Copies of this chain bind each other. A is one copy, B any other.
Amino acid sequence: MSAIELYLIRHGIAAEHGIYPKDSERPLTDEGQEKTRQVAQRLYELDIRFDLIQTSPLVRARQTANILQSAGLGQSLEESSHLAPEGSFEDWVSWLRSWKGEKLAIVGHEPNLGEWTERLVWGSVHHQIVVKKAAVIGLLLPETGSPAGKSQLFWLTPPRLLL
């Protein structure tokens, strides 16, 4: 595995719980779509590109990933059940170690993204990272070995401070 830049991106603002019968079907609101588009545009201007955009299968995440793709941030997009709310960090790391690429975006949910960030950087979960909707986290994973507890945090930004 070569050194990987990993970007963890939380889905945008979604419709409230209760309006849709299944949580997995809640879509982005109009505001959520618009803000996510602005974030995607800003990432594009910052010359950020992904070899792959991987997304949770839930509607609000898939819509977020589609917006990133439409903004020109990456051509390849795939769903991964590891990124769903019930997904497993260990299973995703196993997948990652066989992935051939250098810049990866994963679109998913809280508390998973914050927990995964803490596991990757410090090796344990403290719930001390604030991950807003449409926030972006940037990690540099090591070239060899497990990335857990060995990754470096170089970026964390809520959309308010990115636009």
CB A145 to nearest CB in B, in angstroms, measures 14
Is there a chain B Cβ closer than 8 Å to A157's Cβ?
yes
Contact at B161–A155, with CB atoms within 8 Å? yes
Contacts of A46 in B (CB 8 A): 160-161
Copy count, this protein chain = 2
Is there a chain B Cβ closer than 8 Å to A58's Cβ?
no
Nearest B residue to A154 via CB reads B130
Stretch of A13-21, A72-80, A86-94, A120-128 contacting B (4+ beta carbons < 8 Å): A120-128
A84 to B154, CA, bound (A): 23
Nearest B residue to A138 via CB reads B161
CB A151 to nearest CB in B, in angstroms, measures 7
Contacts of A152 in B (CB 8 A): 128-130
List 14 A–B pairs whose Cβ atoms lie within 8 Å, in order of A's numbering: A46-B161, A121-B126, A121-B128, A121-B129, A122-B122, A122-B126, A122-B128, A128-B151, A129-B154, A130-B152, A130-B154, A138-B161, A154-B158, A157-B161
